């Protein structure tokens, strides 16, 4: 599927807020598109909204979002001023038959991908962080290699530097701080992001 280009982010957001043909619309959940600074040159792409995000209408506002903010702050990024935060899928995938919330399907990721790519075009970040396998699938088209093998490695997409890292929710489930733990690896990854951001921004 392709979509026409939009002149501004506001126009795209207004269009998305009115959508009724997307696969998760029947679930009756909110369209959760972004938070942060649309002028930022660092973008974070998450997976999909959770229950907190669906309630508030912004991505990464629950426990995972609080941890994301702490990770960014550890290398002196302000999540509201220096970063634009969005998702690969823009509505909360409901649980099936009363089960807990599920991950987005490939069909859902594919449907929302053109909207994500249009957001990326409009924001035009220099550096992107992909949190988790769903965002990696949406932006890089990667379905075979898991996040464990892909994290910490730079890719280039349309001239932009892109790094997958563990999703903060995974870090909450694996809180150990031992060497080579997910938290320790994420700390190394976010320092690489800071260095790359400073390099492409021509900051000392």
pLDDT by residue, tens only, the chain of 204 residues: 789 999 999 999 999 999 999 999 998 899 999 999 999 999 999 999 999 999 999 999 999 999 999 999 999 999 999 999 999 999 999 865 545 578 899 999 999 999 999 999 999 999 999 999 999 999 999 888 888 889 999 999 999 999 999 999 999 999 898 989 999 999 999 999 999 999 998 765
Antiparallel, parallel or unpaired: β 42-46 and 160-165? unpaired
Domains, the chain, ordered by start = 9-200 (3.40.470.10)
Rounded to 10 degrees, the C-alpha dihedral 129/24/141/143 comes to 100
Q: Kindly report the pTM of this predicted structure.
A: 0.94
Question: Residue 163: beta bridge partners?
Answer: 129
């Amino acid at each position: 599927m392709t979509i026409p280009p939009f002149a501004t982010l506001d126009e795209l957001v207004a269009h998305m807020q009115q959508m009724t043909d997307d696969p998760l619309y029947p679930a009756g959940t909110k369209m959760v598109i972004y938070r942060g600074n649309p002028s930022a040159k660092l973008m974070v792409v998450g997976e999909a909204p959770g229950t907190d995000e669906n309630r508030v209408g912004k991505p990464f506002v629950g426990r995972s979002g609080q941890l994301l903010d702490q990770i960014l702050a550890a290398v002196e990024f302000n999540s509201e001023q220096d970063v634009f935060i969005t998702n690969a899928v823009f509505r909360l995938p409901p649980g099936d038959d009363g089960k807990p919330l599920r991950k987005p399907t490939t069909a859902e990721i594919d449907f929302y991908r053109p909207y994500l790519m249009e957001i990326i075009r409009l924001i035009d970040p220099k550096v992107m962080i992909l949190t988790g396998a769903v965002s990696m699938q949406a932006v890089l088209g990667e379905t075979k290699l898991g996040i464990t093998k892909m994290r910490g490695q730079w890719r280039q997409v349309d001239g932009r530097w892109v790094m997958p890292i563990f999703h903060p929710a995974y870090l909450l489930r694996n809180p150990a701080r031992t060497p080579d733990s997910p938290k320790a690896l994420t700390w190394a990854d976010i320092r690489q992001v800071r260095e790359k951001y400073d390099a492409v921004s021509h900051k000392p």
